Structure 1
């Protein structure tokens, strides 16, 4: 065996079997040369080339002897590595193993550094243990390993070394989890107990765990089987729920909860939407009282809102005082005007759900779909009971939390969350309240201000921008006056009014217009409760005027009023004089004609003018006059007159009793016109008009709009039948 170039003092001392002190004295005597030792610990190495021959020979013999001893005696077998049984390690045992492993590693590092600094391992270990027990070191592990000793650290370190540093060797082996003979499962209860408990607990009536346990206990007792403890059953269910949460949710809460709480979902990238692509609408019951402008009584009303999906701006709203489907369309009208263009699609609640939420009586909601289609807007109905399909739901929630809760008439969304002053015997709380109930004007102002503030907050999906900035960048060029008038006529809410003296009263507000002067019949007022600055007045389908609120002036404007009051009074006097002069001129024209008519009465005529005129008769297309002196005529003339009257009556009977407009904006409008004539008025249609109705009913568009007409046809039929039975 070849010698090494150099040996350390400890290596030579071991080979030759001499003490280190004696070895150093011999090296000095024989003049051994050394060099600095490279590696941990430092020191020096003795060069073999500088040693005398006797020393080199002694080292060779010592190494040969050591090699021979190793060959004669086999190395002892390594200690068996402790292994864990092939069962899942409980979480609590795994936590203990990790804590112990961390302590051993930190202890090894600490003692190695202390030894390098000249401190003994024993002292360093004792200091480490005292610091840990005092809570000065690794405080987060105290909950798992409360007390520590030096012997424990040495034992754990040896266990790790024997297990090839596998931390699982330090797992807590207490309990029966390491016993392979013990039956494994979700809990320490029998299978029949598991089945009975799950059958009782997994019900859509959602019984409590204690109630399900009592049911299982009764069933097991009846069968004469042992009953596990409530704690064991509870532990069993918690582990069952951790692995089969989907089954628990489906059985107890239903498919909607399974989809909302357990099922996977998609991430919608609505950043690709443009402003005006989709408007989202929904109704929300306001959680505060407001004064009904028609009755003066406080009540909770429904707020119909429209939100632009891309920008998240709350574009328009309408307060629905009564069950009126026009409130939805009226709100959309204002949204289109604010948007400056027609949206490509509207996302609204499904008709049945919306009707059940906000309408108690009959509501023809299908009519709106036909109206949207006629305007080129695609109506999209959300899936029933899926709130995440409508982004406006988040706006409602923010409105309730940030705005409605501060209203003085706040009532809360339900009984559990109503304010304390609304509960019984809360006299002190009631005394702190003002009792003020806001009017519709005050509520509108609050909603508008909140919507503006909300639009200035950061956009949730477009960093660095606000909803209003996104909305402004994508607004349309605006609508023409004709388009605005058409939208107002079709979308706004309507009510019959009877003007008097150029005015009419609506919701406690007086409106006036000069065009109403002299009109004494019922007209249609198109309005929006969210914007009462203008009301459009129509006479059937003919536009009459735009009425605006009446401005009041000082009762003594000339003496105490301002210059503005005096100007308003002067303008009112001029307007009244102008209208009076207009009426006088028209009356004078009628007056002259009236005097001439009065002279036609027999007792008002002059004697020479008293002649009776016989109605004109048609003879072969030629007009002739048949005058009879003294009120008499010949038999031939009488026969001609009778024949002419009969022919005229026949022509009138054969002629159609209705006139068809020369232009319809769409086939839906044309079909609606003829449907009203045939079904509601009972008028027989011309053959070509009846043929048109048959063609339209076979078209694809009728598949969308037909449900509404079928309901109306049945309604008219029942109404006519009831009238006939009454007669």
Structure 2
């Protein structure tokens, strides 16, 4: 027999030998262990759970070995205890991966038993025992040895478990009773929710989003069900699905983030079929075009073509209004064409009478079909929402004065204060973006976006690098335009002149001497003077992207004229006159440089200085006194205590009848009414003259 067969000296535990009821050995586990110890049977540690010792067949008495050999040679059916119960047919597709792997491993091991039976003429039990002995001796082929842990279907990663004869016999019996699916272990049935699950979810599923610790702390003391431990509650919440876990903690709108998502296909659309638009508050402060001292974050209205993702138009102002949306649509219809469908939200800038009126509305005049998205369903307009991140927010984040919601709050506040301080001091600030620079920045962002590969567009091979990449929106527009031309659905374009009467914001202003003022800008037209419109109110229409001119209409909407900024500004003097005067001045300077000043006649002689006058006696005495006062050292300032003492002595001398200077007496009487004098008098009474007057010089005290 080849060496691959197991060693005939097999090993059994005391419990297995006791169950066999062999002759000449005890019939209990304890008796067999005692006999083995008494007779010094060889043994080895048993592998697997439970431990214990195993004994070889060669250690048994001869009668026991013979009986065991007869049993093994006889072809017996497996004992009923090891025959698995018949299972119904199971579909492997419904099994878990672990269950399917266990079934396959058991089937492979049973197939190895069949091979041993056929190759060596063994009984089923002998072949099964040979397989078990191979596994215990480590002589099993590597591919079968790797299947043993999966076939055992036991948890743990130690890999110390091996096959047992009973397990192999049970698998063989299960396969004989059914098919290969009978080898699959029974899967765990879903456990019922614990009794405390419903009260826990009532506390947990609240919009305040309490923590698990708070829910357990709020558990009622008189509740019919005891509160679970924190770990039990944590494991239960973790086992829930996303919707069940968040229901009640978030509203139906936020719950959409966890529900099924329907993707929209735009492969059937052509350029100009659908335009979508939305507003975005710029993440940087910009100087107001009409009043630069009032910076603000403007609203940017962008228009995108859905089929190509091209950014076809935009407008910007300080608020989202109907005229601002109309201005964005004007740039789109002039630059790209009139759309068939205008897909926007329900904001006041998009849903209003000026746009939607069936007769006079803007959409009716252009033949555009307007479609509004469902309120609070921004997922349906992900094209424009995602565009804001790439087209506007990402470029704005590069600026130092970025004020988006993800900007550091402290840095944002410092930039705000610095900008306001600069405006107050200088009238402008490098932090505040000028309006014209802002318009240029948006147009640059539009150019970069339209020429940047877009992940939702088809992939092509780059003609320069040879690498695969996505198409840019501009390339997609050019690629799809011939298809639209073949079908005759190329979006028609409006000329600039046709579009002007459709879209233009306006302000009411009063004409002053043929001038109108809009913010800090002034506009002039001679037509206003010719029509004698001084003092009349007019409607001044303007283009936020071109503030160099305005269109003036009367209050009934009739066009009066087009006025230019600073249209009647004249130079203070003509350039020719100024140049001629400059040349004349230069000629005179050259002539003066060549002239001999010594030969020039004296037109007016300078008068001789007067002789000094002699001082009188009084003037000489006053001069001497002034010199003496200036030469004397400066007087030391009088302290409050010295000032009080001088007034005190003056008043005492007057009370005693001694002569006192009238001016000094008047000052002392006035000073005696002050809090300073009264406080010193109170201190003199409290401390006495010896202590209180110790700080004064001797001369002052004796005086």
- For residues 330 and 416 of structure 2, the distance between their equivalents in structure 1, rounded to whole angstroms, comes to 45
Which of 462, 468, 472 matches 1:466?
A: 472
SS at match of 1:281: strand
Distance 1:486-1:150 versus aligned 2 partners, 3 A rule: closer
- For residues 108 and 125 of structure 1, the distance between their equivalents in structure 2, rounded to whole angstroms, comes to 18
- For residues 255 and 548 of structure 2, the distance between their equivalents in structure 1, rounded to whole angstroms, comes to 49
Deviation readout 1:498-522 (Å, 9 max, x if unpaired) = 5667665545455555655655344
Q: Is residue 2:163 matched to residue 1:148? A: no
Deviation at 1:448, TM superposition (A): 1.2
Which of 309, 314, 318 matches 1:317?
A: 314
Q: Is residue 2:454 matched to residue 1:454? A: no
Which of 286, 290, 302 matches 2:282?
A: 286
Distance 1:548-1:461 versus aligned 2 partners, 3 A rule: farther
Which of 475, 478, 492 matches 2:504?
A: 492
- For residues 172 and 353 of structure 2, the distance between their equivalents in structure 1, rounded to whole angstroms, comes to 79
Partner of 1:298: 295
Alignment of 1:628-667 (within 5 A): none
Partner of 1:528: 543
Distance 1:209-1:557 versus aligned 2 partners, 3 A rule: farther
Distance 1:268-1:77 versus aligned 2 partners, 3 A rule: same
Q: Is the 8 A contact 1:513 1:545 kept in 2?
A: yes
Partner of 1:205: 208
- For residues 485 and 285 of structure 1, the distance between their equivalents in structure 2, rounded to whole angstroms, comes to 26
Partner of 1:437: 432
- For residues 313 and 2 of structure 2, the distance between their equivalents in structure 1, rounded to whole angstroms, comes to 94
Partner of 2:122: none
SS at match of 2:561: strand
SS at match of 1:328: helix
SS at match of 2:371: strand
Q: Is the 8 A contact 1:290 1:298 kept in 2?
A: yes
Aligned residues: 437
SS at match of 1:406: coil
Deviation at 1:537, TM superposition (A): 2.8
Q: Is residue 2:388 matched to residue 1:366? A: no
Deviation at 1:493, TM superposition (A): 0.5
Give TM-score scaled by structure 2 length.
Answer: 0.50
Gaps of 5+ in 2: 4-69, 116-132, 421-428, 461-470, 485-489, 580-703
SS at match of 2:249: helix
SS at match of 1:290: coil
Gaps of 5+ in 1: 1-7, 11-68, 113-119, 179-183, 356-363, 563-727
Alignment of 1:251-650 (within 5 A): 251-262=248-259, 264-295=260-291, 296-322=293-319, 324-340=321-337, 342-351=338-347, 365-370=352-357, 371-375=361-365, 376-390=367-381, 391-413=383-405, 417-422=407-412, 436-463=431-458, 464=460, 465-472=471-478, 473=481, 476-480=491-495, 483-487=498-502, 491-498=503-510, 504-509=516-521, 511=523, 515=527, 518=530, 520=534, 521-532=536-547, 534-540=549-555, 541-549=557-565
Distance 1:537-1:424 versus aligned 2 partners, 3 A rule: closer
Q: Is the 8 A contact 2:334 2:495 kept in 1?
A: no
SS at match of 1:396: helix
Deviation at 1:523, TM superposition (A): 3.2
- For residues 111 and 275 of structure 2, the distance between their equivalents in structure 1, rounded to whole angstroms, comes to 66
Q: Is the 8 A contact 1:523 1:538 kept in 2?
A: yes
Deviation at 1:494, TM superposition (A): 0.7
Distance 1:324-1:121 versus aligned 2 partners, 3 A rule: closer
Q: Is the 8 A contact 1:306 1:315 kept in 2?
A: yes
Alignment of 1:36-47 (within 5 A): none
- For residues 437 and 214 of structure 2, the distance between their equivalents in structure 1, rounded to whole angstroms, comes to 51
Deviation readout 1:251-301 (Å, 9 max, x if unpaired) = 332322344421x44332222223223322222222221122333222223
Deviation at 1:144, TM superposition (A): 7.5
Deviation readout 1:367-403 (Å, 9 max, x if unpaired) = 3311134413233222110102323111112235421
- For residues 398 and 527 of structure 1, the distance between their equivalents in structure 2, rounded to whole angstroms, comes to 30
- For residues 380 and 425 of structure 1, the distance between their equivalents in structure 2, rounded to whole angstroms, comes to 41
- For residues 284 and 216 of structure 2, the distance between their equivalents in structure 1, rounded to whole angstroms, comes to 43
Partner of 1:585: none
Deviation readout 1:213-271 (Å, 9 max, x if unpaired) = 333x32xx3146433212222323333x23xx545544332322344421x44332222
- For residues 253 and 507 of structure 2, the distance between their equivalents in structure 1, rounded to whole angstroms, comes to 41
- For residues 155 and 522 of structure 2, the distance between their equivalents in structure 1, rounded to whole angstroms, comes to 79
Alignment of 1:158-197 (within 5 A): 164=175, 185-187=191-193, 189-190=194-195, 193-197=196-200
Q: Is the 8 A contact 2:134 2:140 kept in 1?
A: no
- For residues 282 and 209 of structure 1, the distance between their equivalents in structure 2, rounded to whole angstroms, comes to 40
- For residues 566 and 238 of structure 2, the distance between their equivalents in structure 1, rounded to whole angstroms, comes to 70
Q: Is the 8 A contact 1:291 1:440 kept in 2?
A: yes
Q: Is the 8 A contact 2:340 2:368 kept in 1?
A: yes
- For residues 347 and 417 of structure 2, the distance between their equivalents in structure 1, rounded to whole angstroms, comes to 44
- For residues 557 and 127 of structure 1, the distance between their equivalents in structure 2, rounded to whole angstroms, comes to 112
Distance 1:321-1:223 versus aligned 2 partners, 3 A rule: closer
Q: Is the 8 A contact 1:372 1:378 kept in 2?
A: no
Q: Is residue 2:212 matched to residue 1:214? A: no
Q: Is the 8 A contact 1:458 1:466 kept in 2?
A: yes
Distance 1:350-1:228 versus aligned 2 partners, 3 A rule: same
Distance 1:9-1:277 versus aligned 2 partners, 3 A rule: closer
- For residues 78 and 347 of structure 1, the distance between their equivalents in structure 2, rounded to whole angstroms, comes to 76
Deviation readout 1:45-99 (Å, 9 max, x if unpaired) = xxxxxxxxxxxxxxxxxxxxxxxx9xx976433773557999x9xxxx9787788
Deviation readout 1:426-477 (Å, 9 max, x if unpaired) = 999x9xxx96111121221111111111112234444144322344536645
- For residues 83 and 419 of structure 1, the distance between their equivalents in structure 2, rounded to whole angstroms, comes to 70
Distance 1:334-1:514 versus aligned 2 partners, 3 A rule: farther
Distance 1:225-1:273 versus aligned 2 partners, 3 A rule: closer
Deviation at 1:349, TM superposition (A): 1.8
Q: Is the 8 A contact 2:84 2:171 kept in 1?
A: no
Partner of 1:227: 227
Q: Is the 8 A contact 1:96 1:172 kept in 2?
A: no
- For residues 84 and 547 of structure 1, the distance between their equivalents in structure 2, rounded to whole angstroms, comes to 98
Q: Is the 8 A contact 1:125 1:150 kept in 2?
A: no
Distance 1:498-1:311 versus aligned 2 partners, 3 A rule: farther
- For residues 425 and 344 of structure 1, the distance between their equivalents in structure 2, rounded to whole angstroms, comes to 44
